[in-house]
Amino acid sequence: MNPDRIPVIVGIGEVKDRPADPAQGMEPMALMAEAIRRAEADAGASLVGRIDAIDVVNSVSWPYADLPGSLCAALGIAPVRRNYGPVGGETPVRFLHEAAERIARGESVVAAVCGAEAQHTVSAAQKRGIELPWTPKDPNAQPRNRNYLAELVRRHGIDMPIRVYPLYENATQAAWGQTPAEGLAESAQLWSTYSSVAAENPDSWLQRRFPPEEIATASASNRMIAWPYPKLMTANPLVNQGAAVLVTSLATARAAGIPDHRVIPIQGGAAAGEPLDYMQRDQFNGAHAMDVVLEAALDIVGGDASRFAHREFYSCFPCVPKMARRKLGLPEGTLPTVAGGLTFHGAPLNNYMLHAACGMVRALRSDAGALGLLYGQGGFVTKHRSLVLGGEATGALVSRDRQAEADARRGPAPLLVDDRTGEATVETHTVVFRTDGTPDFGAVILRLPDGARTMARVPREDTGTLEALMATSRSAVGLRGRLSAGQDGLQHWTI
């Protein structure tokens, strides 16, 4: 292959900002600019001035009117492509893959992917009543809406990730034949492994190892959020972190004097998605889109997942890497991260996987010829991306849209109904907790005798049903109970 068309990563940069005074904190744009400068320094070549394409990961903590434009002005560059991404934890993987595709087509010479958040400083400033001296906020910024979700689930309040992913956790545990106690133990050990990697990563937010017992045990500092997840099993967005990756061709890297052992080839990957409304999916114990993008990654390595010497499985909540490991056929105890995970490394909202890409580059530079897998996810187990890095710089970039295959595997979703009474069986569930650590309400997805699906609430006062949903010795999936009309206008379910 022509070295001008072989895409490689040549520079990575990360920055972490922990000011004692919020007024001294760096805004997201400044974090991005610094990360790009550090990526140029890491490459050891003057590349920033040659950037002709920049993709900026969606930033939530501080809304800008034109973030790519402001960033380019701060850097003194004028790339032809200035793209601002949609919301989604998989977007850094997507942007890296798309940058590689443009280089392979000869449409770009040097591309930058960057992102940052400063939610820790923003939250601290709000608590202290401090007005941050940053770029003025976009006065036309609109809050996110989730109108694509069924009105039924929005009325029940099961419309945010921390309340949806437990539905997958409980459904997968049941499908795998685990008791909730066994599922909790696996999650705690897995998360302890993530924390061990974060403890050795100087760019992580939390830099100590958390033992499984601490992660699994609810306490004042580790309160339950949504069954079965306590705080230490959830993503931590209260961070100030930025990252950037520079992508170019092998020929450009060599011409700039970058040695081959410092460049990391991009081999390719795949994308697919689930229906946006999770109630329109056929199952909660797996995701067809996850399966097909991981199968595409396996195709690159001849079907042998053990050839991935390094891995990063998206880790907003434990069910995701547990599902990915099983799909790849890897043994329990497989190291799932190069960066430390969204709890311990920190979760700069949509940008974590760019930090993971930086960690992957470091791992592959120290392991000549090895291959690494990035698996990212966005939404409510919705958007899925895989990308393989490392190995030989052959230029045979793999780009696969696996959407049609995911759709073909997906069975019909059950009819979604409301205002039913009578017998109903638990398909999956969670229990939402108050800030004082006590249950607020239960939420159950139910199947009716005619096969239809619905959602119902278990009120705080129905302690017997809540206890059954949170039993540790047996899964609540499959329990039968009765639907009735509640005085709050919602369907209620009791065992």
Structure tokens given for 444: 């159950």
Set out the domains of the chain in order of their start, with CATH numbers.
Answer: 3-133+237-409 (3.40.47.10), 422-494 (2.40.50.840)
Whole-number average pLDDT of the chain: 97
Instruction: With cut-offs at 50, 70 and 90, classify the pLDDT of residue 186.
Output: very high
Instruction: With cut-offs at 50, 70 and 90, classify the pLDDT of residue 489.
Output: very high
pLDDT tens-digit readout, 415-462:
999 999 999 999 999 999 999 999 999 999 999 999 999 999 999 999
Instruction: Provide mean pLDDT across the span 1-5.
Output: 91
Rg of the Cα atoms in the chain: 23
Instruction: Provide mean pLDDT across the span 336-354.
Output: 98
Q: Which helix (H) or strand (E) holds 328?
A: helix 319-328
Q: Is 177 left (phi over 0), alpha (psi -120 to 50) or beta?
A: left
Q: What is the pLDDT of residue 280?
A: 98
Contact 205, 76 (CB under 8 A): no
d(CA 391, CA 60): 35
Closest CA to 44 of 248, 253, 355, 265: 253
Structure tokens given for 134: 């940053």
Q: Which helix (H) or strand (E) holds 378?
A: strand 371-378
Closest CA to 210 of 230, 193, 187, 186: 193
d(CA 160, CA 146): 9
Q: What is the pLDDT of residue 275?
A: 98
For the chain, report the end-to-end CA distance as a whole number of angstroms: 64
- Which residues 6+ apart lie within 8 Å of 468 measured at CB? 476, 479, 495
Burial per residue of 253-286, b for 16 or more beta-carbon CB atoms within 10 angstroms, e otherwise? beebebeeebbbbbbbbbbbbbbebbbbbebbbb
pLDDT tens-digit readout, 89-140:
999 999 999 999 999 999 999 999 999 999 999 999 999 999 999 999 999 9
Instruction: With cut-offs at 50, 70 and 90, classify the pLDDT of residue 313.
Output: very high
d(CA 174, CA 248): 46
Q: What is the pLDDT of residue 458?
A: 98
